[in-house]
Amino acid sequence: MREQSPKEHFESAKKLGMKEYSNRVSNGEIGYLPSLEGIIKETEIVSHVDLDIMEIPLKKVVGTYSHLRSLSFSNGFMPILENNTEFMHKWESLCKVHLEEGIRDPIKVYEYLNWFYVVEGNKRVSVLKYFDAYSVTAHVTRLIPKLDNNNKTIQIYYEFLKFYNITKMNTIWFSKRNSFEKLTKLLDKYNPILPYYENKYKHFEVYIYNIFRRIYYSLGGDKLPITTGDAYLEYARIYGILDELDENELKKTIRELIKELKLFQKDELVDIQTTPIKANQGNMISTLTTFIMPPKKLKVAFVYARTIETSGWTYGHDLGRQYLEDMLGDQITTTYIENVPENGKAFPQIQALAEDGNDIIFTTSPVFKRDTLRCALKYPNIKFFNCSEYRPYKHMSNYYGRTYEPRFLTGIIAGSLTKTNILGYAATSPTHEVISCINAFAIGAKMVNPYAKVKVTWTKEWNSHDKFKDADKKLIEMGADIISNRNLTVPRDVTEKFGVYSMLCSVDTDTKEVIHHLAAPIWRWGIFYESIVKNVLNDTYRTIADLFGGESRLVNFWWGIASGALDIYYSKKYVPLETQKLVDLMRKMIINNDYNPFVGPIYDNEGNLVQKDEEVASSQDILKMTWFHDNVEPDTFTK
């Protein structure tokens, strides 16, 4: 086949350019290249940094510096000027150089917000983009705008600058804040064998990120309204940064991952199920793949952290499993594995349950979320559920209780009984769910005692007995005489009945010993398990296409006291009768939806009004809570 001449290549490039120009104009967009002088006209540039000569990716060369030169090209850098011009002859000459020996002379560019704008060498860029070259040599000057805390893009750019100083990578960009920091932490732990590059960051870019990007684009990822960096970070948070990639396996994984990424940052596509769904209820919303009923009993598996004997949390979930067997034993079989590693290495055990033919797998701890999702992406026909707070996925739903409701009631008890007006709260880490529980506890305490203060210490671990014991000691030293703690010793009769794992206790501030066990939130996990499994048995979970015309939704099962899945235990002996009456009244009002602890006016501990007068926080507000109530004094949390 005859090779095209430079003139013919110019004609082809011009056709591409005119087509792109016409399409953009017909859509009401500007057909020319953007020009940097127009973009930064009203921007304060605080620094010019000479980065010297370097290779830059052509995909990030997006415009010219001057407006006049931008008029020669379509938005994709293809020529749009008439034939027989000086421009055409220079373009053809550069095309000939590229075909015969390659374009070597560096161009000159400005970098602004991690995009490149050409000062000299526009036609070289046009030729290289026409031939789909990957990069070009350029002399780069970085223009740094003044930090603007009201401009998200500039905030992200300053985060990029820190990332670039460490890695010298400019091929990655994110649409969310703090993403560069998250990737940096993952790369800190990345120590591959380096056969070709001495620098691990360059190795990562060439052999990990670029391979991911190529496959991601081939499967249509470039059509998603997120950056490739966003997509890769989601992948890396699930799988980590692997030393090498199996491209066939990666293609399967990305194909399933894209189904998740289509719902990226779309809160309106999260269905928060606040009450159990009755079997065959017509408006049940599911994110899960179509389930084909097998001609056998459903196999349901449970994954436990710690053992049934040593952990109140695990014991409570096993009570739920037993309840499920009692209610549906003729239609299901259950199995469980316990003492599963909590260090992010649970994947092999969960995968073994999938390979063993289980139809539904419940993983009962938030620490299993990542490994559960990995399995869910690998086995899309199995239903996976993870016991964790907000952030469900298409392949994996999550279930949890509105724990702020019983915490509010225990706060009433704590505020009534404290003598020092200092209440202690030992918490894991400031996630949204934990923060909402602390705030509800504080609101309950302040309702009956305007002088009550809640001091919070962090364990930074989900289920460490030693860390919670240390937290107790610290809170007592702060003057707390009532403490809410997850791992205090609990009376066995309560544990055996409810699987209680958390208790509100009074403390002798002199002896530092627990005096009385006062109250605790209690879980009835069997309510969750029976309702969810019944809906699978009755085929209530249906394909999304049937319900939404192809629109997918994510499901977050988030039930409260009214469902029976959550409640409060309190001591009839140590909680005064009048306080019992108030707790019972408020509990009834919550069940009847007559009261929500998060009703305004509410001020945070910095004096900001966060909930207006008589305004009730929505489910989304509570699930995304980041502020602390005005009587909360959290200890400094360091990641």
- In single-letter form, the type of residue at position 281 comes to Q
Pairing outcome for strands 482-485 and 503-507:
antiparallel
pLDDT value of residue 281 = 43
Task: Report pTM.
Answer: 0.76
Give the integer Cα–Cα distance in Å for 371 and 386: 10
Model confidence at 516, pLDDT cuts 50, 70, 90, reads confident
Does residue 267 register a pLDDT over 80?
Answer: no
Q: Could you report the per-residue pLDDT of 366-403, keeping only the tens digit for each?
A: 889 999 999 999 998 899 999 987 676 888 888 888 99
Per mean pLDDT, which range of 152-166, 243-257, 501-515 is the poorest? 501-515
**Cα-trace Rg, the chain:** 30
Does residue 275 register a pLDDT over 80?
Answer: no
Does residue 404 register a pLDDT over 90?
Answer: yes
- In single-letter form, the type of residue at position 191 comes to N
What's the N-to-C CA distance of the chain in angstroms?
62
Give 582-606 as a DSSP string. HHHHHHHHHHTTS--S-BS-EEBTT
Model confidence at 544, pLDDT cuts 50, 70, 90, reads very low
In 347-393, alpha helices (H): 347-355, 369-378
Pairing outcome for strands 396-401 and 383-387:
parallel
Coil, helix or strand at residue 548 = helix
- Say which residues have a Cβ less than 8 Å from residue 452's Cβ, sequence separation at least 6: 414, 415, 418, 421, 422, 423, 442, 445, 446, 631
Model confidence at 549, pLDDT cuts 50, 70, 90, reads very low
Count CA atoms closer than 13 A to 241's CA, side-chain side.
22
Does residue 333 register a pLDDT over 90?
Answer: yes
Q: Is there a contact between 540 and 277 (Cβ–Cβ < 8 Å)?
A: yes
Coil, helix or strand at residue 363 = strand
Q: Which of 167, 158, 217, 160 is nearest to 187 (CA)?
A: 167
Question: Tokens in use for 50?
Answer: 């000479």
Give the integer Cα–Cα distance in Å for 348 and 344: 11
- Say which residues have a Cβ less than 8 Å from residue 473's Cβ, sequence separation at least 6: 512
Does residue 294 register a pLDDT over 70?
Answer: no
Does residue 285 register a pLDDT over 60?
Answer: no
Bridge partners (DSSP) of residue 142 are 49, 111
pLDDT value of residue 199 = 86
User: Which whole number is the average pLDDT over 511-521?
Assistant: 86
pLDDT value of residue 503 = 78
Encode 110-137: b = buried (16+ Cβ within 10 Å), e = exposed.
bbbbbbbbbbebbbbbbbbbbeeeeebe
- Say which residues have a Cβ less than 8 Å from residue 157's Cβ, sequence separation at least 6: 113, 114, 145
pLDDT value of residue 268 = 46
Q: Could you report the per-residue pLDDT of 57-110, keeping only the tens digit for each?
A: 999 999 999 999 999 999 999 999 888 889 999 999 999 999 999 998 999 999
Give the integer Cα–Cα distance in Å for 310 and 224: 46
Coil, helix or strand at residue 113 = coil
Chain-centre distance for alpha carbon 613: 31
Q: Is there a contact between 203 and 197 (Cβ–Cβ < 8 Å)?
A: yes
Pairing outcome for strands 396-401 and 554-559:
parallel
pLDDT value of residue 539 = 59
Count CA atoms closer than 13 A to 377's CA, side-chain side.
24
Q: Could you report the per-residue pLDDT of 428-450, keeping only the tens digit for each?
A: 889 888 999 999 999 999 999 99
CA distances from 607 to 408, 424, 488, 602 (A): 21, 22, 33, 9
Question: Tokens in use for 349?
Answer: 């055990």
pLDDT value of residue 286 = 37
Model confidence at 192, pLDDT cuts 50, 70, 90, reads confident
Query: Is the bond leading into 634 cis (omega within 30 degrees of zero)?
Result: no
Q: Give the 3-state secondary structure of 227-245.
A: CHHHHHHHHHHHHCCCCCC
Q: Which of 497, 565, 533 is nearest to 301 (CA)?
A: 533
Give the integer Cα–Cα distance in Å for 508 and 196: 65
Q: Give the 3-state secondary structure of 140-196.
A: EEEEEECCCCCCHHHHHHHHHHHHHHHHCCCCCCCCCCCHHHHHHHHHHCCCCCCCC
